[in-house]
């Protein structure tokens, strides 16, 4: 490790005899604030008093040091105190780290930034008690041991973060509870307060950012304001200017100079509406759409005199940054000091062939990274090459990752996170945040149940990842053990055994792990490897231990993933069903129409689809996420029958929807053939209500074979029960990130009677 990396380890906590905070007679210390204490320091005092009272039932006074109590805890950003500890203060310059020093009867918690004092209070509690903010659940997510006396024995150290931005983008927005969980685990950025200045943001000293998220047509050049008068400002696709809609906001015509001048006016409007932010986002919409007008498709003359052709992999990234550079130059002149943030995502994950302005911040989004492995591994070569390209282009990079999108299976991505954070830090990256599932019991968003179940199984990994963002040179295994000990007490070893089993299964399930990977294959692999009974035994041992009420609730939440798991319950039933289908096929009716893909629509007989809006197969619909790739049918089978095909698609499905009733049981299977590695296919059951809205997201089912083979037909199969609220089953045959051809044939769906 470099000297700069070693520095955080040079000034570690030092044990003292004991600084008395609460004694048998009550409070023994006063929390002292300066008269001009900024809001985060005032909040730090309130948090320190709150948690000491939670732990001891004693409330410390907050005042100016005149309470008469023998000890003082002074929270401050005062230059007087910083000068008192010059070595520590120099260490804290320019970051939200903190120093803790004991001088007689005064314990100083100080920082160069107000947020540093708040961080110091949380670490003072963390190192001097057994408190842990394990998950954002008000009922049982914060655990500690009650005590009548409290003394601080760790009272002399300094610490600072490796990453100057650390935080979580919570799906559907963070609630107060989720925001506070992140702050108490030392985050300084949250999606809770990126769109505008929230009171909590100021109170906690968080980084400020305005207009985060896809927005070039959703915020700036909106169709409502501009399309009727200036359709030429918008994407031209298949010879027509496309009006962005709520469901699909297409991109702009980025070469149109008149559009850019109006965009600059809208940018000024945005800055005026939300002054004081450090960054203002100019983000492409969430798709691969590209304007196909002559101007956008014209060759680009580069600064070095070379010509960039429209078929170059970085062509559209270059076209986009020719546009963003103009916005950034305007911002630099009119608003010195602010940054323009934009995504390195989809077509801009590839760096452009031109320089980018030095006030542009790139949110680099490694959307296709396999989190089983660090970004430096051969399995992530494509993502690594794009990151290296950006590192050569600019130092203004924020890593926008997807570590917290894990679904309900325990996913130990913390090991890769530690390696990634170290690698990025050593190459000058100081800013990072990740998307994460929500954990709000009072939420109404469609992923409420899915988010809660995800946290049930992954709280430990989310907590470890939060700690690693502060210092990735910590040992993830040691951090896990701290979590296990504080959350599960006597049951720590038993819970560790359960998590060891799930981790082994995850590493041996034969599939990569992306942000969107469903958990079913891991649960099925646990069955195939005959580890279900051992996993259950570990949890049963844990339940037999003496546990606090909160610890037991955390344990029961974790156990739900295994014990209330439909995949495991269906594994044995599936075998019985297959046996019955084989011995009594006359009792079962395939409910799917055109299940062999033999009947083509007359208007496209013998042809590939004219565009991506139709399926060539009768009774089957087709959906795609992006514009490239082909779909049709293949006759490369021994009996010369047809099979549905798709080639080179990013994300696409053949779809058939049927009416169902809650509680009905179904068995499905299909044959799939993959042309080349690492392509994958999936057979998926999803749910809709009478209004054609997606429902019961947590009960989506994805089915795969345990071991994927290439160049031969394989059977994908599964069993499921219709969840509450669903009136329609949507069966999808699809793939993601396919480079070669994927074939589907002989699809079956049977209703199973009790």
- 735, 728 Cβ separation under 8 angstroms: no
Select the more confidently predicted residue: 611 or 55: 55
For 119-142, how does the pLDDT look when each residue is reduced to its tens digit (9 = 90+)? 999 999 999 999 999 999 999 999
Select the more confidently predicted residue: 478 or 239: 478
Q: Helix axis angle, 492-507 relative to 476-488, nearest 10°?
A: 140
Domain 576-752 coded CATH 3.40.50.300: no
For tokens 């793939």, the residue is: 735
For 105-122, how does the pLDDT look when each residue is reduced to its tens digit (9 = 90+)? 999 999 999 999 999 999
Residue 607 confidence class, pLDDT cut points 50, 70, 90: very low
Mark out the alpha helices in 131-175 (DSSP H runs).
none
Residue 5 confidence class, pLDDT cut points 50, 70, 90: very low
Q: Report the candidate in 171, 253, 191 with the shortest Cα–Cα distance to residue 437.
A: 171
Q: What is the pLDDT of residue 2?
A: 33
Mean pLDDT score across all residues of the chain? 90
Q: What is the pLDDT of residue 312?
A: 93
Mapping DSSP to helix (H, G, I), strand (E, B) and coil, where does residue 48 land? helix
Residue ranges covered by each domain of the chain: 3-159, 167-490, 576-752
Select the more confidently predicted residue: 323 or 577: 323
Strands 132-133 and 189-190 turn out to be unpaired
Q: Where does 167-490 sit in CATH, by number? A: 3.20.20
- 400, 434 Cβ separation under 8 angstroms: yes
Q: Helix axis angle, 257-273 relative to 315-334, nearest 10°?
A: 50
For 386-396, how does the pLDDT look when each residue is reduced to its tens digit (9 = 90+)? 999 999 999 99
Classify 3-159 by CATH class: alpha beta
- 456, 561 Cβ separation under 8 angstroms: yes
| Helices and strands in the chain, H and E counts | 20, 32
- Averaged pLDDT for residues 76-93: 97
Is 32's pLDDT higher than 80? yes
Is 466's pLDDT higher than 60? yes
Residue 259 confidence class, pLDDT cut points 50, 70, 90: very high
Is 722's pLDDT higher than 70? yes
Rg value, the chain, Cα: 28
For 693-705, how does the pLDDT look when each residue is reduced to its tens digit (9 = 90+)? 888 877 788 887 7
Is 226's pLDDT higher than 70? yes
For 646-670, how does the pLDDT look when each residue is reduced to its tens digit (9 = 90+)? 998 878 899 999 999 999 989 999 9
- 353, 308 Cβ separation under 8 angstroms: yes
- Averaged pLDDT for residues 627-647: 80
Q: Report the candidate in 435, 440, 698 with the shortest Cα–Cα distance to residue 560.
A: 698
- Averaged pLDDT for residues 587-616: 72
Distance CA 683, CA 732 (A): 6
Distance CA 736, CA 406 (A): 17
Distance CA 443, CA 440 (A): 5
For 618-634, how does the pLDDT look when each residue is reduced to its tens digit (9 = 90+)? 899 888 766 678 888 88
Is 184's pLDDT higher than 60? yes
Tokens of 638: 């021994």
Select the more confidently predicted residue: 353 or 290: 353
How distant, in Å, are the alpha carbons of 288, 334, 408, 507, 580 from that of 523?
A: 33, 56, 10, 12, 24
- Averaged pLDDT for residues 10-33: 84
For 137-178, how does the pLDDT look when each residue is reduced to its tens digit (9 = 90+)? 999 999 999 999 999 999 999 999 999 999 999 988 888 999
Q: What is the pTM of this model?
A: 0.86
Q: What is the pLDDT of residue 606?
A: 45
**Percent of the residues in the chain that have a pLDDT greater than 90, as a whole number:** 71
Tokens of 400: 């926008």
Q: What is the pLDDT of residue 608?
A: 42
- Averaged pLDDT for residues 607-624: 68
Select the more confidently predicted residue: 682 or 355: 355
Is 518's pLDDT higher than 90? no
- Averaged pLDDT for residues 714-728: 90
Distance CA 73, CA 46 (A): 12
**Percent of the residues in the chain that have a pLDDT greater than 70, as a whole number:** 94
Residue 635 confidence class, pLDDT cut points 50, 70, 90: confident
| Peptide bond between residue 678 and the one before it cis (omega within 30 degrees of 0) | yes
Q: Report the candidate in 382, 349, 378 with the shortest Cα–Cα distance to residue 363.
A: 349
Distance CA 430, CA 473 (A): 14
Distance CA 122, CA 117 (A): 9
Residue 524 confidence class, pLDDT cut points 50, 70, 90: confident
Q: What is the pLDDT of residue 636?
A: 60
For 326-342, how does the pLDDT look when each residue is reduced to its tens digit (9 = 90+)? 999 999 999 999 999 99
Is 470's pLDDT higher than 80? yes
């Amino acid at each position: 490790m470099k000297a700069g990396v070693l520095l955080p380890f040079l000034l570690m906590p030092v044990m003292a005899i004991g600084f008395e905070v609460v004694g048998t007679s009550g409070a023994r210390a006063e929390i002292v604030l300066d008269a001009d204490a900024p809001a985060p320091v005032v909040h730090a005092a309130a948090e320190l008093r709150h948690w000491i009272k939670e732990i001891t039932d004693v409330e410390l006074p907050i005042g100016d040091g005149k309470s008469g109590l023998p000890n003082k805890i002074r929270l401050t950003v005062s230059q007087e105190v910083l000068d008192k500890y010059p070595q520590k203060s120099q260490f804290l310059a320019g970051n939200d780290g903190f120093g803790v020093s004991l001088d007689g009867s005064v314990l100083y918690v100080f920082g160069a930034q107000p947020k540093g004092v708040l961080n110091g209070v949380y670490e003072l509690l963390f190192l001097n008690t057994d408190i842990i903010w394990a998950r954002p659940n008000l009922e049982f997510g914060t655990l500690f041991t009650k005590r009548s006396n409290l003394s601080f024995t760790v009272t002399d150290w300094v610490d600072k973060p490796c990453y100057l931005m650390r935080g979580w983008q919570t799906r559907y927005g963070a609630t107060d509870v989720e925001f506070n969980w992140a702050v108490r685990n030392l985050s300084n950025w949250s999606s809770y307060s990126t769109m505008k200045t929230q009171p909590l943001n100021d109170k906690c000293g968080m980084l400020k950012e305005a207009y985060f998220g896809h927005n070039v047509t959703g915020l700036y050049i909106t169709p409502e304001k501009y399309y009727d008068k200036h359709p030429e400002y918008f994407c031209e696709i298949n010879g027509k200017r496309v009006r962005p809609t709520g469901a699909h906001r297409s991109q702009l015509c980025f070469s149109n100079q008149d559009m850019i001048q109006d965009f600059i006016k809208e940018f000024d409007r945005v800055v005026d509406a939300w002054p004081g932010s450090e960054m203002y986002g100019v983000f492409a919409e969430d798709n691969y759409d590209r304007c196909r007008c002559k101007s956008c498709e014209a060759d680009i003359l580069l600064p070095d005199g070379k010509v960039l052709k429209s078929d170059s992999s970085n062509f559209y990234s270059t076209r986009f940054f020719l546009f963003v550079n103009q916005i950034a130059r305007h911002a630099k002149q009119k608003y010195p000091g602010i940054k323009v943030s934009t995504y390195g995502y989809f077509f801009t994950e590839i760096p452009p062939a031109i320089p980018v302005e030095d006030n542009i911040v790139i949110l680099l989004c490694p959307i296709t990274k396999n989190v089983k492995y660090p970004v430096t591994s051969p399995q992530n070569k494509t993502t690594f090459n794009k990151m290296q390209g950006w590192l050569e282009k600019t130092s203004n990079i924020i890593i926008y990752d997807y570590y917290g999108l894990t679904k309900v299976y325990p996913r130990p991505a913390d090991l890769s996170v530690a390696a990634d954070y170290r690698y990025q830090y050593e190459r000058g990256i100081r800013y990072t945040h990740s998307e994460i599932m929500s954990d709000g019991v009072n939420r109404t968003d469609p992923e409420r149940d899915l988010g809660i179940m995800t946290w049930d199984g992954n709280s430990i990994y989310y907590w470890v990842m939060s700690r690693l963002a502060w210092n990735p040179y910590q040992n993830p295994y040691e951090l896990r053990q701290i979590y296990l000990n504080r959350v599960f007490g006597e049951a720590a070893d038993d819970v560790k055994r359960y998590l060891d089993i799930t981790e082994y299964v995850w590493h041996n399930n034969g599939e990569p792990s992306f942000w969107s990977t469903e958990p079913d294959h891991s649960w099925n692999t646990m069955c195939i490897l005959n580890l279900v009974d051992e996993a259950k035994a570990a949890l049963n041992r844990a339940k037999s231990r003496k546990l606090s009420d909160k610890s037991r609730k955390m344990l029961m939440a974790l156990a739900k993933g295994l014990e209330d798991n439909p995949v495991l319950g269906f594994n044995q039933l599936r075998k019985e069903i297959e046996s019955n289908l084989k011995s009594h096929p006359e009792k079962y009716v395939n409910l799917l129409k055109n299940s062999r893909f033999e009947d083509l629509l007359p208007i496209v007989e013998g042809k590939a689809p004219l565009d991506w809006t139709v399926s060539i197969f009768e009774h089957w619909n087709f959906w795609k996420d992006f514009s490239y790739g082909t779909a049709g049918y293949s006759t490369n089978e021994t009996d010369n029958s047809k099979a549905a095909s798709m080639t080179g698609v990013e994300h696409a499905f053949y779809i058939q929807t049927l009416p169902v009733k809650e509680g009905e049981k179904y068995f499905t299977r299909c044959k799939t053939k993959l042309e080349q590695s690492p392509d994958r296919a999936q057979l998926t059951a999803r749910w809709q209500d009478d209004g054609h809205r997606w429902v019961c997201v947590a009960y989506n089912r994805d089915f795969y074979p345990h071991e994927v083979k290439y160049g031969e037909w394989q059977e994908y199969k599964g069993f499921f029960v219709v969840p509450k609220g669903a009136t329609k089953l949507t069966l999808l045959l699809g793939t993601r990130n396919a480079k070669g051809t994927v074939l589907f044939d002989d699809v079956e769906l049977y209703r199973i009677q009790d």
